[in-house]
Amino acid sequence: MCGIFAYLNYQVPRTRKEIFETLVRGLLRLEYRGYDSAGIAVDGPAKTTTDLNHNNCICLIKKKGKVKALEEEIYQKDRVDLDESLHTHFGLAHTRWATHGEPSALNSHPHRSDKNNEFVVIHNGIITNYKELKAYLITKGYEFESETDTEVIPKLIKYVYDNRENDSVTFSTLVERVIQQLEGAFALVFKSRHYPGEAVSTRRGSPLLIGVRSEHELPTEQIPVQYNSGHLKEDVHEKNSHNRMDSSNAINSNEDGRAVEYYFASDASAIIEHTNKVLYMEDDDIAAVKGGELSIHRVNRQAGDDPVRAIQTLQMELQQIMKGNFEAFMQKEIFEQPESVVNTMRGRICFDTNTVILGGLKDHLKEIKRCRRLIMIGCGTSFHAAVATRQLLEELTELPVMVELASDFLDRNTPVFRDDVCFFISQSGETADTLMALRYCKDRGALTVGITNTVGSSICRETDCGVHINAGPEIGVASTKAYTSQFVSLIMFGLMMSEDRLSLQKRRLEIINGLKMLPEQIKKVLSLDEKIKAIANELYQQRSLLVMGRGYNYATCLEGALKIKEITYMHSEGILAGELKHGPLALIDKHMPVIMIIMRDGCYTKCQNALQQVTARSGRPIILCCQDDSEVMKDAYKTIELPQTVDCLQGILSVIPLQLMSFHLAVLRGYDVDCPRNLAKSVTVE
């Protein structure tokens, strides 16, 4: 979704041009999240201003389209002195993914409180009560210029500021009062000409983290949380004093006014090139920087709240978020899968002793084994990973396994019980619907398990236990290596659950041996890239494409069809071959491209029957099959021969040709593979 990046340099001289470059580079790192416009806010002076207080003016530059277009706008306009050196400065930058109002410069962020830009804000999320707030503010004389929900926030903070009880009210207090009026999800970063050199950020339901860089060692890596702990009877001024940065409660994370830089971002990928020291904000935290000092505030203290926020070290390398020699991040991530599945298994499977230990789950294993059912919850690709492994989990755990789309799960108010175990699968760990489903299940006392790719994410922090899939950063919007790593992680969970089942030992051994061979088999599949590209060359002008299979390969059909939809904009449908006669067969003729997945597994004969039905209607199927399967190949228009593995792992090998197919189709159709239209990498709104 929207990308937030902000940079505060305290006692670190930077020219305005260097500040622009840092902000733009941060936005470029966030491009993969999906967006349609971008903007920045920096301090003046404007070259033409005659205002004696011009150093406090805020300059906004916003542009529809790509970050490159914004960068050109910055240097074309010649609005500000690029060479002026600023010892302390706070700049905001944002990429917008349209929700309320069309993509335009006016609707893009930062949004402002008034024509003097007294307060500006950048926002990721959706404010659900913005209409009521907007109607109220209009009655107070505030004029709105955009169609967005975000614009109520700077107008509201201006209203709170204009009606403050005295001049000692701090910036963080204003923000505290504002967020108490907001409903919905948000990550917010505020800047104001009334509080020069200060930054305030807050979040609820949308991710936000703060990077810290200093040449000096930080005096502490544990920042205590300050609470507005006054009683209801105390007056407002007394309450405010608890939040004042110069009070005795202030946290000197930066002693003696030493030089320090802070980076605010919705994603670690924008920060890693500057620092690996980060602080993850929790819901309703208010982080304030004043005089180079970072402090964390909360309105109320609740039981179980962590009294400190730890500054953590990011385990990420800049090289991991670079394309290298590949045309696109998606292509790079497809070809990283031999390594990413190894990283998922590393330290967890011992192939010598045939044991599997998932460290994040071992303390809860007895409780999981006693449960009445497993509920797997996800969206999109993560949902497909659950579908792909459901059959094996039912076999190895001998428990009923429900697979649920998070949004539908919530819409139905699905019954959940204390003896259920609920899995929440999300690459980013911030998917809004999945996160809402997690909170729904926690409220009902179920044990919650997270399967994510992002350390420190909301799902990681809020679940009782979990598995980090270790796939490495995934930049392409269309998920590839995260899917196969989620798949492997869930298989490993099934193996761990069945370790003491004597009747399942032969099956377990077969699967563990299959996992051992998997990386080499993935390399063999990737070597078919040129053949897949040639097939894509025949298909790219088609308007529709059907993907058909059953059993363990049905999830592959769903995932392959989703990839084709996401980045090629072709209509594509994953069809369960067993349902062919119940409707989809009507679509089959010589003009309809059909991809069929027919592997030597328990559904082999049934899939051959479906193949006969397709060919009898003049269909020309492109078949993914096992090597040297002459029985299937004789009826195929084209074949893609894959190495054979254990039936439950075949979906990992069969999805890769479809990932490659979708990539080549998108390139041939002239589309941006990494940033498909209308889509975002991390869906942080419902």
Whether 195 and 45 have beta carbons less than 8 Å apart is answered as: no
Written as one letter, the residue type at 567 is I
CA 615 and chain centroid, separation = 42
Q: 388 — phi, psi (to 5°)? A: -65, -30
Beta strands in 602-652 (DSSP E): 620-626, 638-642
| Alpha carbon distance 51, 536 (integer Å) | 61
* Residue with tokens 């328990």, as numbered in its chain: 602
Rounded to a whole number of angstroms, the CA Rg of the chain reads: 27
Helix (H, G, I), strand (E, B) or coil at 469: coil
Tokens matching residue 118: 């007294």
Amino acid at 553: N
Q: Are 278 and 271 in contact (CB under 8 A)?
A: yes
Residue 284: phi and psi, rounded to 5, are: 70, 10
- The residues, any chain, with a CB within 8 Å of residue 617's CB and separated by 6 or more, are 585, 588, 589
Backbone angles phi, psi at 11, to 5 degrees: 55, 30
Spell 102-125 as b/e; 16+ CB within 10 A means b: eebbebbbbbbbeeebbbbbbbbb
Q: Which of 2, 371, 557, 626 is catalytic?
A: 2
Query: Torsions phi, psi of 192, nearest 5?
Result: -145, 145
Q: Please work out, in degrees rounded to the nearest 5, the angle formed at the alpha carbon of residue 519 by the alpha carbons of 391 and 399.
A: 15
Output the CA–CA distances (angstroms, integers) from residue 175 to 181, 225, 377, 421, 647, in the order listed.
10, 16, 35, 38, 55
CB distance 173 to 195 below 8 Å: no
Q: Where are the alpha helices (DSSP H) in 30-170?
A: 67-77, 130-139, 152-162
C-alpha–C-alpha distance, residues 497 and 508, integer Å? 11
671, 574 in Cβ contact below 8 A? no
Q: Pull the structure tokens for residue 513.
A: 């041996």
Do 236 and 211 touch, CB atoms closer than 8 A? no
Residues 6+ apart with CB under 8 A from 550: 576, 577, 578, 603, 606, 607, 610
H-run or E-run covering 632: helix 630-633
- Look up residue 317 and give its two tokens: 């390398």
2 labelled catalytic: yes
Gap between the terminal Cα atoms of the chain: 11
Phi–psi pair at 207, nearest 5 degrees: -70, 145
- Can you tell me the distance from the alpha carbon of 223 to that of 225, in angstroms, rounded to the nearest whole number? 7
Reference 437, options 461, 460, 404; nearest CA is: 404
User: Exposed/middle/buried for 676, CB within 10 Å: 0-12, 13-18, 19+?
Assistant: buried
Cα 242 to Cα 235: distance, rounded to the nearest angstrom: 12
Which residues are known to be catalytic?
A: 2
